[in-house]
Chain A
Amino acid sequence: MKRGPAAVIINSALGLAAAFALFPLLWMVSVSFMQPGAASSYPPPLLPADATLQNYRDLFARVNMGGYLLNSLVVACGLTVTSVLFNVMAGYAFAKLQFAGRDALFKTLLAALVIPGQVAMMPLFLMLKAMGLVNTWAGVIVPGMAGVFGIFLVRQYARSIPDALLEAARMDGAGELRIFVLVVLPMLKPVLVTLAVFAFLGSWNDFMWPLIVLTDSTLHTAPVALASLSREHVQDSELMMAGSVVTIAPVLVLFLGLQRYYMQGLLVGSVK
């Protein structure tokens, strides 16, 4: 392939765009290793003059970031496990099982996609309050335990399961649950991973709903804690950058590891 001026322009433009995308993240990492107070000097330094782990030590020892990360992990895992299970069951049934009103129900679900979640937030809060779930992790998890998008994703994928395979299993006398566990689930493995990644990232990154439900600060998830810390510690840039690093790192690593599955989900979702 010849490398003319066009190639130079295209690759420089891509390089610039990548720098724009990555610079804030790289700078965050750099500042998180600076001595407390070093980032608030003029001109602002690019790299730590005297690298230290002090901010990370403070983060875990002084402001209990470890606890918040653990809270996030519990909430994200709880939501991931339940939502994957419920969505896969429903998506499979919509794709492969016959029941009265199936298509009408599915169409209704798709139509509900246009309703933004905040319309439901006030009554949902009152409902959860009546159920005693306000200020609990269950209150954060429960509304997300099933979602139309997830069901849709599974249904698209499950449609490719051959009916003959399911019929053969039924002929052999297998019950529907047995067929689901032994035949269907193994075939849906890729979409299970996609669904799990979406659920985990979505839950980990979610802000507004945990902010509303979790009033007790010891229960706060990492983003909610980070938001309130950043209001209290406006001057402690180095500490806040360390807090951002530990909040972003888990999801970034998960994404880099399972990128293929994430992108697939994004594309299926976009052709609905």
Chain B
Amino acid sequence: MKKRSLAAWMFVGPAISVIGLFFVLPVLAGLGLSVTDFDLYALADLRNLRFVGLDNYGHVLTLPLFWKALGNTLYFVIVGVPLSIALSLATAVLLQSPLARFKPFFRTALFAPVVTTLVAVAVIWRYLLHVRYGLVNEGLGALGLGPFDWLGDPDWSMPSIILFAVWKGFGANMIIFVAALQAIPDDLYEAARLDGATRWQQFVYVTLPMLKPTLLLVSVLTMAGYFQLFAEPYVMTQGGPLQSTVSVLYLMYEEGFRWWNLGTASAVAFLLFVLMIAVTQGLMRLGRRGEEVAAG
């Protein structure tokens, strides 16, 4: 038995070492780094490193750009996540309909953006949204609207990035919703129909309650992803115009790897982490309480 236990450790050893050494250890070290003034001078010579307590956190919290970035990120999350989930759910319901044709084609087509390379499709969208040569303005122009300077106007830059992110990501949750919809027993719809429920009433009183656990899970996962906005503004707007698309992670990247203020950047990373945990845990608690109320 002892020999077998040793063998088992040999099996988990490599993976655990990698995760311990290249994830757990850096996370803890990051906490340490966030209470030092690690910067370009410390990078050159570690003797320049000083312990500064919570100064980095204090500094970040008084930085106007941090609050701007936080506001932008929350804008992206609060508008983007519900939009993305609504589109995922709508397409999943359509795909599940017995009247839908060519299902495998539609499923693959709607999912395709998910597997594409984010940077490459961001380049495409930057061009689609071009103020003069972009097809979006061309299409709107035909309807007598615009032209809009999508990525050049601070009022439109974030909505443009949200549109892009929704396009890129909605297919993933759609697949999860399709699986959850398939698991709803047909009898429930049958019973609702016998009671004279319309299609819309069936959706509200049968589908939505049955999907609740999935909705909660999908919301939490999607939200966690949306909080980590980075590549979209990096490629499409470089944080502009007027810092309207600087996200928290973008700020962390600039602080850490452009200006080499690794202490400050670590503080930014932990603040984002705490915020993410608070919001997702809050959402879970809210969801669970909803379940209890429904059950009681």
Chain A residues close to B by CB (< 8 Å)? 1, 3, 6-7, 10-11, 13-14, 17-18, 20-22, 24-25, 27-28, 31, 39-44, 46, 85-87, 89-90, 92-94, 97-100, 102, 105, 109, 112, 114-127, 142-143, 145-148, 151, 175-177, 180, 201, 204-205, 207-208, 212, 222-224, 226-227, 230-231, 237, 240-241, 243-244, 247-248, 251-252, 255-256, 259, 262-263, 266-267, 270
Establish whether residues A28 and B8, one from each chain, have CB atoms under 8 Å apart when the complex forms.
no
Chain B contacts for A87, CB-based, 8 A: 15
Could you tell me the distance in whole angstroms from the C-beta of B17 to the nearest C-beta in chain A? 8
What is the CB-to-nearest-CB distance from A75 to chain B, in angstroms, rounded to a whole number? 13
Decide if A116 touches B12 in the complex (CB within 8 Å).
no
Residues in A whose Cβ lies below 8 Å from that of B252: 118
Q: Which residues of B contact A (CB under 8 A)?
A: 1, 4-5, 7-12, 14-16, 18-19, 22-27, 29-30, 32-33, 38, 87, 90-91, 94-95, 97-101, 105-106, 108-110, 112-113, 115-121, 123-128, 132-135, 138, 167, 171-172, 175-176, 179, 214, 217-218, 221, 224, 227-228, 230-231, 234-235, 238, 249, 252-253, 256-257, 262, 265-266, 269-270, 272-273, 276-277, 280
The answer to whether A270 and B262 have CB atoms under 8 Å apart is no
State in angstroms the CA–CA spacing of A40 and B95 once bound together.
38
How many angstroms from the CA of A145 to the CA of B22 in the assembled complex?
A: 9
> Please, how many angstroms separate the alpha-carbon atoms of A240 and B25 in the complex?
40
Q: Are A25 and B113 in contact (CB-based, < 8 A)?
A: yes
Given A1-B98, A240-B127, A252-B116, the answer on whether A17 and B12 have CB atoms closer than 8 Å is no
Does B23 lie within 8 Å of A99, measured CB to CB? no
- Give every chain A residue within 8 A of B113 (Cβ-Cβ): 21, 24-25
The answer to whether A252 and B112 have CB atoms under 8 Å apart is yes
Q: Are B5 and A98 in contact (CB under 8 A)?
A: yes
8 contacts between A and B (CB under 8 A): A6-B99, A10-B97, A25-B112, A116-B269, A146-B19, A180-B11, A207-B118, A212-B253
B172 touches A266 (CB 8 A): yes
Partner of B12, one of A3, A13, A94, A177: A94
Report yes or no: A230 in contact with B126, Cβ–Cβ below 8 A. yes
The answer to whether A123 and B29 touch across the interface, beta carbons within 8 angstroms, is yes
Distance between B40 CB and nearest chain A CB, rounded to angstroms: 13
Residues of B within 8 A of A126 (CB): 29, 33, 262
Residue of B nearest to A9 (CB): B99
- In the bound complex, residues from chain A placing their C-beta under 8 Å from that of B87 are 17
Q: A21-B171, A93-B12 are in contact. List 9 more A-B contacts (CB 8 A).
A: A14-B91, A24-B128, A93-B8, A99-B12, A148-B19, A207-B234, A240-B127, A241-B124, A266-B172
- Assess whether A240 is in contact with B4, with CB atoms less than 8 Å apart: no
| Chain B nearest CB, measured from A193 CB (Å) | 15
Contact B23 A112 (CB under 8 A): yes
CA distance A259 to B116 in the complex (A): 13
Complexed CA–CA distance, A113 and B112 (Å): 26
The answer on a CB contact under 8 Å between B269 and A119 is yes
Q: Is the CB of A97 within 8 A of B11?
A: yes
Q: What is the minimal beta-carbon distance from A140 to any residue of chain B, in angstroms? A: 12
| Chain B residues positioned under 8 Å from A125 (CB to CB) | 256-257, 262
How far apart are the CA atoms of A186 and B48 in the complex, in Å?
55
Shortest Cβ gap from B151 to chain A (Å) = 12
Contact between chains at B12 and A90 (CB < 8 Å): yes
Alpha-carbon separation in the docked complex, A240 to B1 (Å) = 60
Q: Please determine whether A24 and B18 come into contact, CB atoms closer than 8 angstroms.
A: no
Contact B119 A247 (CB under 8 A): yes
Other-chain contact of B109, A22, A89, A119 (Cβ < 8 Å): A22
The answer to whether A99 and B9 have CB atoms under 8 Å apart is yes
Q: Quick one: which of A86, A123, A224 has the most chain B CB within 10 A?
A: A123
Q: How far is the CA of A211 from the CA of B4 in the complex (A)?
A: 43
